[in-house]
Amino acid sequence: MKFQLAINLERLDASLDMKEVARHTLEMVQIADQGGFNIAWAAEHHALEMTIAPNPFSILAWWAGHTDRIRLGTACVAAAYWHPIKVAGEAAFVDLISGGRLEFGIGSGAYQREFDRMHPGLKQSDAWRYMQEMLPVVRALWKGDYAHEGENWSFPTATSCPKPLQAEVPVWVAARAPITYDYAVKNGCNIMSWPLTRDMSEAETYMNRMNEAVANNPSCKRPTMAMMRHTAVYGKQDDWMVPIRAAQRQLSQFENLFKNMGDVENGFPKSIPFDQLGNRAEYDPEMLRRNLMFGTPDEVIAKLKGYAALGVDEFIYYASLGLGLAEQKRSLELFCKEVIPALA
């Protein structure tokens, strides 16, 4: 099994200094670089302090100058917010300056709140059309001159400047619905999946969907399957409630965004009180402890073996869950020192 790191510049309230958050985020990527991780992922989000990522390519360019080996990926470019020529050039530039380390993740976008600001009038549920139109256009621009007449973009002959160093840039899509797994297999894309806080049956469902898509497209290559979980490794079992409390707080802010409540002040979404949640079972401490990648090194190793048995190729360590910066660093160090050697 290989390992990937997903991390954001993250502030859940104004008490954290932005310069300290930036320093910490880079340090985490450097620990992953030296500790045996395969890929580090940067997201794209707008006007939200909990995921400060206005341009994933800028973040990757920053990381590229301070790392040596780890590959660098966008997870994900929100297609509807971009023009294909700009995406192609930005991505190729990161591949150039990183020495050919780019992993290109493209998606539809997460929150209706962001669409209301970045692409007014577009429903999040319709944004997949932009992603599916953009990907072949970007690939064509990477190859050379190309003109496009499409539903969402049209332009005369153009090309990507610069071109990627890699002859074939690995492409990833985030997938949950069966139609997306089928799209990924048919279009030579690797797959990122996220069971959120749900149990292993959700992970099994995603693996089954990928296997069905591969079986239905026998002439296509099997994609790499990566699965993400919030992750926290701690030295003592008595510490188990520390990441649980952090996750509960962050998840309640995500709940606000998914419901598009509009209760965001200066970039900080307010937490929804538990007594106002209709899905309180999804915040149960024992459930979170069991389903998320929380535990001592031995407990985390045992959980990861379950994913390996399902056929998951790479595990995405999601570091951003509102945990304190010192606890985040200690967790990643334990993972590199004790978990990776047991499974690599």
pLDDT at 280: 63
Query: In the chain, which stretches have pLDDT less than 70?
Result: 274-280
Tokens of 59: 């973040």
pLDDT at 256: 79
pLDDT at 24: 98
pLDDT at 185: 98
Mean pLDDT of the chain: 95
Q: Give the closest residue to 328 by CA, choosing from 3, 59, 23.
A: 23
pLDDT at 274: 65
Answer yes or no: are the C-beta atoms of 80 and 9 closer than 8 Å.
no
What are the pLDDT digits (tens) for 90-118? 999 999 999 999 999 999 998 999 999 99
Helix, strand, or coil here: 273? coil
pLDDT at 57: 98
What is the Cα–Cα distance from 108 to 81, expressed in whole angstroms?
A: 9
What are the pLDDT digits (tens) for 190-249? 999 999 999 999 999 999 999 999 999 999 999 999 999 999 999 999 999 999 999 998
User: In terms of DSSP H, where are the helices of the chain?
Assistant: 18-35, 56-64, 84-97, 112-118, 128-143, 178-186, 200-216, 241-258, 285-291, 297-310, 325-334, 340-343
pLDDT at 335: 98
pLDDT at 251: 86
Output the CA torsion sign for 299, 300, 303, 309: negative
Answer yes or no: are the C-beta atoms of 42 and 72 closer than 8 Å.
yes
> Whole-prediction pTM value?
0.96
Looking at this protein, which amino acid is placed at residue 181? Y
Q: Can you give the length of the chain in residues?
A: 344
pLDDT at 169: 98
Helix and strand counts by DSSP (H, E) for the chain: 12, 14
